[in-house]
Each structure stands twice: as C-alpha cells, then as structure tokens.
Amino acid sequence: MYVINKDSILEIVKQLDLIPLIKEGFIAYSEGRSVVPPIGELSFKNPPGDVHIKYGYIIGDSYYVIKIASGFWENENLGIPNGQGMMLLFDQKTGQPKAILLDNASLTDIRTAVAGQICAQQFSNDIKCIGVLGTGLQARLQVEYLTHVTDCRNLIVWGRNREKMKQYQKDMGHKGFKVNLADSVRQLSKSSNLIITATGSSEPMLFPEDIMPGTHITAMGSDTLMKRELGPGVLKVSSLVIADSITQCQERGEISHGLKEGDLSKDSVVELGDILSGTRAGRTSQKDITVADLTGVAVQDIQIAIAVFKSYLENQK
C-alpha cells in the first residue's frame, strides 16, 4: 500500500487537468453510474468543528474511495490549519487497500474550487465584478480558479472581521486582483454579477432585494444541516437553481431551506450533471438570476483521488 504525503499530492495536482475529470464525475452521478451513500457527519461544540465522511465509487472504475475531512475553526489559534483529513483508496474488485492520500483536506479544497469554476463558466454572464462573502481559504481558491475562465480581476469582499478583509485584499492584490472592501453584504451584491458565498454562517446574509438581474451565485458555504448564507426568497426569484446532488441538497445546503420555506419545489431543481451532459438546459436569459448550491459530492473526491493516485503510479515507473 502506498502512502502519499501532501507535498507530493500538490505537485501532482499541478499537472492534472481537473475540469474534465470533475465534470465527468458529476455526469456519472446524475446518470446513475455511481454509488454514493449518504454523508457521514460528526459535529463538535467544544471546540467547534465538523467532520464529513464521503465515500463511494463510479461503476467500472478500478477503485472505491473513502474521504475523511474536517474543519475545526479554532485551529488557527493553535497554528494548525482548520482543514484536516485524508483520502483512502481500495481495489473495487477485491477490497484491498491501495493508497492513503495524506492531503490534509487540500484535495477537498481544490475539488470544491474546481466545481465553482465549472459553475461560473457554465452559468455566469460576462463577469464585471466578483463579489466574495468570506475571507478564508475557499474564498481565495474560488477566485484563483476563476482566472482560467474569466479575464475579470475586479473583486469586492465582505467578511465579519475587518482585519481579515484587509489581509484578503493584500493577499489577492499580490495575485493580480483589484480588491475593494464592502461595508455591507448589500453593497457587495449591488456591485457584483458573480457572487461567491464561502462562509460558515448559520444566519442568512444575502437577500433577494439586493441581487442584480443577471447575477450568478455560487453558494458553497452551507454544507451542513445548520449552515445557511442565502436569505428567504433568494431561490424564489432565481430562474435556475442548480444542485450538485438533488438528494443531498434536500437535507443540507441552501436548497433544503428553500424547500422547507416553499420558495421552490424539488421538481424545479436541476442537477449539475444533467446540465453538463446536455440533458437539461442551463441559463436561458442574460437577465436570469441563477444559483448553484454546492454541498460537495463524493464523486468529486473519487475523481480527484484516483487521478492523483494514477499519476503517482506513472511517476514511479
């Protein structure tokens, strides 16, 4: 069995074209060519944190994958990254363990950013300004990965901590972005036609009256039962609501809240894989408001883990 450390994993990822791999994972999921059980989840209060266990396989692949990823929000006070975890690969025919990817949740971060990249490419209009709610790692990666699909380098950011906003402005400025600091979420949403929500909030922040026509929203912070970033009515005014997994989004994420409040019905939600395969339509008008609810699906982990392992084996020859 191979044990691959984070540094090696990150070097391998630089050589991979992840967009087609992740797209194929979503398509396989929506076409019923994968087996993905419900998410395993542990929640902690003291200190606060959560652990997600995602696992499954794509039918006909060589491996099945189990991913364990955690977020403990007070780790930064200890000088430890908030995200931790690993991915485990097993032979799909024999069950033999084949590899441990000690990625410290970096592959989860990357595959999430790639999903955001796919959604921006697929659903946004000509991007004039990118609005970002949040100042953490995913708020950075989502924007960095957008450089492959848009020439826009105008950003406006909002976060609860002004000092972290200023640090975000400085850091992203070094990466070639012009970053303005928003005084409110409303100011941000009135200035942006692509909005990324990347916080751990349990209280809604973005409301329908503040969203400009033609805006696309990639909502990826609400990945547990209690988290929420979009206010009541946002999904109701949206012409297209996309789920990475309809089954998963019925119990977690923004869609779950919208279903409970009557802002939309299950039948009106479109799965990302169906749009990517051409089975369902995406944006049909430049005036549409569109929302992609990304709760994170195991097929993303399966695709990126297997790609890293195969590349690692090739490099050993």
Rounded CA Rg of the chain: 19
Are 280 and 194 part of one and the same domain?
yes
pLDDT band at 240 (very low <50, low <70, confident <90, very high): very high
Are 141 and 16 part of one and the same domain?
no
pLDDT digits (tens, 9 = 90+) for 144-157: 999 989 999 999 99
The pLDDT, as a whole number, for residue 315 is 87
Spell out the residues 6+ positions from residue 129 whose beta carbon is closer than 8 angstroms to its own.
Answer: 152, 154, 155, 156, 191, 192, 193, 194
How high is the mean pLDDT of the chain? Answer: 95
Query: Whats the size of the chain, residue-wise?
Result: 317
The pLDDT, as a whole number, for residue 225 is 79
* CATH number of residue 100's parent domain: 3.30.1780.10
The pLDDT, as a whole number, for residue 143 is 97
Are 54 and 170 part of one and the same domain?
no
The pLDDT, as a whole number, for residue 274 is 98
Are 177 and 73 part of one and the same domain?
no
Are 21 and 145 part of one and the same domain?
no
pLDDT band at 217 (very low <50, low <70, confident <90, very high): very high
pLDDT digits (tens, 9 = 90+) for 30-77: 999 999 999 999 999 999 999 999 999 999 999 999 999 998 989 988
The partner residues of 70 in beta bridges, in order of sequence, read 51, 84
Are 82 and 176 part of one and the same domain?
no
pLDDT band at 316 (very low <50, low <70, confident <90, very high): confident
- Give the number of domains in the chain: 2
The pLDDT, as a whole number, for residue 175 is 95
Are 154 and 248 part of one and the same domain?
yes
Are 117 and 12 part of one and the same domain?
no
- Domain that residue 51 falls in: 2-105+299-316
Are 182 and 49 part of one and the same domain?
no
The pLDDT, as a whole number, for residue 76 is 84
* CATH number of residue 129's parent domain: 3.40.50.720
Region 216-229 average pLDDT: 89
Are 100 and 75 part of one and the same domain?
yes
Model confidence at 82: pLDDT above 90: no
Region 290-315 average pLDDT: 97
**Is the entire prediction scored with pTM above 0.75?**
yes
Are 119 and 101 part of one and the same domain?
no
Residue type (1 letter), 294: L
Are 37 and 181 part of one and the same domain?
no
